[in-house]
């Protein structure tokens, strides 16, 4: 296992170093000609107005919340699925109940209008 995670670490670190090298080559080759006009925020030529980092539309957070619920569900499902064939009927029924509860959750969010974008 140490070998596998070592290789994985090499890929992670190597990928980062690779991108750093590409940026470094660009840093060596780039022309240096700064001006304040280039550093302005580009919004189709209009002057930017007001702060960008404001409180955002609530729908995004609703989606994120429902996503967390379902992602955790999926993580629970994976180990169950990998031993599904060897397991008997009882785990199957248990998981059917588990998914049923979550389907109920989807139905609730649906009726509450969490999936409406307005």
- 5-24 footprint of another protein as x/- string (CB under 8 A): -xxx-xxx-xxx-xxx-xx-
116 dihedral zone (left: phi>0; alpha: psi -120 to 50; beta): beta
Is 112 a binding residue for another protein by CB under 8 A? The answer is: no
**Residue from 47, 55, 64, 101 in contact with another protein (CB under 8 A):** 64
Is 117 a binding residue for another protein by CB under 8 A? The answer is: yes
Footprint on residues 30-59 left by another protein (CB under 8 A): 30-33, 36, 38-44, 48, 52-53, 56-57, 59
d(CA 79, CA 5): 20
Is 108 a binding residue for another protein by CB under 8 A? The answer is: no
Q: Token pair for residue 99?
A: 């998914």
- H-only helix segments in 30-88: 58-82
**Residues 6+ away with beta carbon under 8 Å from 85:** none
Is 113 a binding residue for another protein by CB under 8 A? The answer is: no
């Amino acid at each position: 296992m140490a070998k596998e995670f070592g290789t994985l670490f090499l890929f992670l670190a190597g990928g980062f170093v690779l991108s750093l090298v590409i940026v470094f080559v660009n840093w060596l080759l780039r022309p240096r000609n700064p001006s304040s006009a280039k550093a302005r925020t580009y919004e189709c030529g209009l002057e930017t107005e007001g702060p960008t980092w404001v409180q955002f539309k609530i729908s995004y957070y609703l989606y994120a919340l429902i996503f967390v619920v379902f992602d955790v569900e999926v993580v629970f499902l994976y180990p169950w699925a990998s031993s599904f064939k060897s397991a008997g009927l009882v785990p199957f029924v248990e998981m059917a109940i588990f998914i049923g509860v979550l389907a109920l959750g989807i139905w609730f969010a649906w009726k509450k209008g969490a999936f409406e974008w307005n």
